[in-house]
Structure formats: structure tokens, C-alpha cells
Amino acid sequence: MIGCGKMGGALLEYWKRGDESFTIVDPFLEKAPEGVTLVKERSELGDKRFDAIIVAIKPQMIDDILPDYAPVLSDNGYVISMAAGASIERISKVMGHAPVIRIMPNLPAFVGKATNGLVAGPGVTDDQRKHAHAMMERTGTVVEVDDEDQLDRVTAVAGSGPGYVFELARAYVAAAEGIGFSHEQARALVLGTLEGTIAMAIDQDGQTLEELRNSVTSKGGTTAAGLDALNGDGAVSRKFEQTLEAAYNRAVELR
């Protein structure tokens, strides 16, 4: 694993629960997670070779740093890249045309609830794809997509998604405070409602979200009044469309 920032470290805590052994190369990391080897420089790897190399450095560092690691990858090895915006073609080229799988995790990886996008590049074997998929499943759920453009769309929906949810929760808590609750009470009410509602939606996957919404909405009742104020004119729906489009367009600009 080349580099180990906050997201890489969060994923590694769950990855290491499998059968693999991990080595990190990071000159700035003070301490590796338990059971993981840490070295400061490429030279400390000597003549070791690895079945997979995980790219967890910033995209702007790739061209300068990665070429030194091409000889470290075993003949049948592959690369997993979590460097946002760095294409499969770019990674493969600097790694001696090795097969590359790109992943897009999101922030809930810190609690083992990530929603991960995954796309396999040319030359990736079925075993390699299954291995990467299994690793990502340890951190949460996995959605495999067909191409890198779809991975940019994953970025817009799931990669950036926690930010949208935190903002909605923040506004919801503020509104609860506005009708008389303390911050602690409002936070407990809102986050508990969100947690329970999402758990129910996942459990009741045979019902559409519209059906679940309708199940709690009595004609002329409080929920109906609230929903009419929230999205009766479709403003929230349009805002989400604009949000995802803006995030996707930005992801395309950063390619």
C-alpha cells in the first residue's frame, strides 16, 4: 500500500481482517495498524514482490512516485487505485501496463459502512476482480460499474453523498431547535429518526421508497402537511438533480 492517509487507514482497518498480509510505504506515517508492516521508503522493500499494489497517494504524485513500484508487482499481480480522478490508463502506464482496478469509497468507511464503487480495467482477471470486490465488501457494500464515466457518477452520488446527508441532517437539527428543542434533543431526535428510517428501508427492500413514504402518510395528517411543505412543489427533487449534476460535472473536469 503506497501512502496511507485517513481514508486509506480507515479501509485498511477492515481489509486486514482477511487472509492477506499488508505492507505500507509512507514516510509520514508514525505507526501502522496492528499486524501491518510499515516502511518509510521504497528501498526498504528490497527484492520483495507483491500480489497487489494499492495506490493511496494524491493523483498529482502518481507520475513521480509510482514508476519506482512497477518492479515490486508480481508477474500475475494487479493494482488497486483509490486516487480520485487518476484514470486506469494513466495508472497502468506508469505501472508497466499492469491491470488496474479503480475504487471509489466514501466516508462511512470509518465505521465499516462504506458504499464503494468499483471498475475493472483491461486485462483484469476474474479472480482479481473477485479479490478486490471481496476486500471492499469488508468495508461495506460494493457497486461494480462498467466504465470510468460511471465511476464519476458514483463519485457524485456516493463519494460526495455523505456531505449532502450531513448538510440535510444539519438543517433538520436546526429546524428542530427552531421549534423549541435543545441542540442535544434535536440531534438525538433527528439522527435517531434517520438511522431507524434507513434501517427500515434496507430491511423492507420489497417495497419502493414511495410505498414506504406513503405508509407513514395519512391523508390530511401531520406527515402529509410536512411533506407538502417540504417537496409539494418538487423543489427538493430538482435540488437533488442539480446537486448530482454539479458534482458529476466537477468530477469530469478533474479527470
Domain edges within the chain = 6-146, 161-253
User: How confident is the model over 79-105, as a mean pLDDT?
Assistant: 95
pLDDT tier at 214 (50, 70, 90 boundaries)? very high
Mean pLDDT, residues 139-161 = 97
- SS3 string of the chain? CECCCHHHHHHHHHHCCCCCCCEEECCCCCCCCCCCEEECCHHHHCCCCEEEEEECCCHHHHHHHHHHHHHHEEEEEEEEECCCCCCHHHHHHHCCCCCEEEEECCHHHHHCCEEEEEEECCCCCHHHHHHHHHHHHCCEEEEECCCHHHHHHHHHHHHCHHHHHHHHHHHHHHHHHHCCCCHHHHHHHHHHHHHHHHHHHHHCCCCCHHHHHHHCCCCCCHHHHHHHHHHCCCHHHHHHHHHHHHHHHHHHHCC
The residue type found at 214 is N
Query: Is the pLDDT assigned to residue 255 strictly greater than 80?
Result: no
What are the cell numbers at 175? 429546524
Residue 85 clears pLDDT 90, i.e. is over it: no
Residue 219 has pLDDT above 90, yes or no: yes
CATH of domain 161-253: 1.10.3730.10
Q: Looking at residue 50, what is its pLDDT?
A: 98
Mean pLDDT of 215-227: 96
- The residue among 124, 135, 112, 111 whose CA lies nearest residue 54 is 135
Quote the pLDDT of residue 175: 98
Average model confidence (pLDDT) across the chain: 96
Q: In this predicted structure, what is the pLDDT of residue 209?
A: 97
- Answer yes or no: same fold for 6-146 and 161-253: no
Q: How do beta strands 23-25 and 37-39 pair? A: parallel
CA distance 247 to 147: 18
State residue 198's pLDDT score. 96
Task: Tally the residues of the chain.
Answer: 255
pLDDT given at position 84: 87
Distance of CA 131 to the CA centre of its chain: 17
What pLDDT is recorded for position 240?
A: 97
- pLDDT of 234 reads 97
Over residues 30-64, the pLDDT tens digits come to 999 899 999 999 999 999 999 999 999 999 999 99
pLDDT of residue 18: 94
- Which tens digits make up the pLDDT trace of 178-193? 999 999 999 999 999 9
Tens digits of residue pLDDT in 106-126: 999 999 999 999 999 999 999
**Angle at the Cα of 124 from the Cα atoms of 123 and 130, rounded to 5 degrees:** 165
Q: Quick check: 3 pLDDT over 90? A: yes
* Model pLDDT, residue 225: 97
CATH topology of domain 6-146: Rossmann fold (3.40.50)
